[in-house]
Amino acid sequence: MILGVSLVAYFAAVLARSEDGWDVSETELDDVETLADLADLARDAAQDDDSVLIFIEQEDAWFAIVRVDGEEDPRIFVSDGAAAARSSYGSVLTDELVDQAGESEFGDLDHLVVELEDSEEAQEAVDDAADDAAPPGGVPVGPLGDSHLLTEFGLPSDELLALSGEGAVPGDALEEIAEALGCGEVLEAVR
């Protein structure tokens, strides 16, 4: 947990891409309070600005993958946004994803329509639509984020999403993902 003592079991590993494949090491998240901290952790493990993945798992609840490529913004995938939002490390990721969605180019369209129509009815309709679309807390149940972040490594989006569906076991999903990346045995060794 970021502040205080956590009774929930977390697993975190850093997978750094190298010429020979993936270097995998378990890592502690005790000093991680923001996405920038997580990105710095990944960049510290990078070799020549190659890709670095961070796997995070909360036992029996959710998993996340954060991909960092050099100085680019991190790409994030969370298997169950609502479950992750209820945990300290997960909320760091889901808050970022919800903020990104709010900043999208479509985020202000409803506001623009209200300004153009300039009526109370239009504002009420927009508010009702937003209430219907967003679950409590603003974080949707199910997969959230960039499901294409592992495509170039041989794991298509639809397969990643299938590992995140209802009834999926986060630990098993990360093992399957690591197998697809060619580092299953190495990840298993650090678990």
Whether residue 1 has pLDDT greater than 90: no
Check residue 69 and give its pLDDT.
94
Q: Report the DSSP beta bridge partners of residue 11.
A: 57
AA letter at 140:
P
Q: Specify whether the CB–CB gap between 76 and 64 falls below 8 A.
A: yes
Assigned token pair, 57: 């798992």
- Give the strand pairing for 51-58 and 62-69: antiparallel
- Residues 162, 165: Cα–Cα separation, whole Å: 5
Q: What angle do CA 132, 74, 59 make, to 5 degrees?
A: 70
Whether residue 35 has pLDDT greater than 90: yes
Check residue 79 and give its pLDDT.
96
Whether residue 112 has pLDDT greater than 90: no
Check residue 126 and give its pLDDT.
41
Check residue 124 and give its pLDDT.
54
The model's pLDDT over 125-175, given as tens digits with 9 standing for 90+, comes to: 444 444 444 444 577 888 999 999 999 999 999 999 999 977 889 999 999
Q: Specify whether the CB–CB gap between 66 and 42 falls below 8 A.
A: yes
AA letter at 67:
R
Residues sharing a CB contact under 8 Å with residue 159, sequence separation 6 or more, in sequence order = 180
Per-residue pLDDT averaged across 5-14, rounded?
A: 74
Assigned token pair, 180: 């697809």
AA letter at 9:
A
Helices 109-117 and 120-133 sit at what angle, rounded to 10 degrees? 160
Whether residue 107 has pLDDT greater than 50: no
Whether residue 101 has pLDDT greater than 80: no
The model's pLDDT over 82-98, given as tens digits with 9 standing for 90+, comes to: 999 998 889 999 988 88
Half-sphere exposure of 106 (CA within 13 A, CB side): 2
State the pTM of this model: 0.77
Q: Specify whether the CB–CB gap between 143 and 79 falls below 8 A.
A: yes
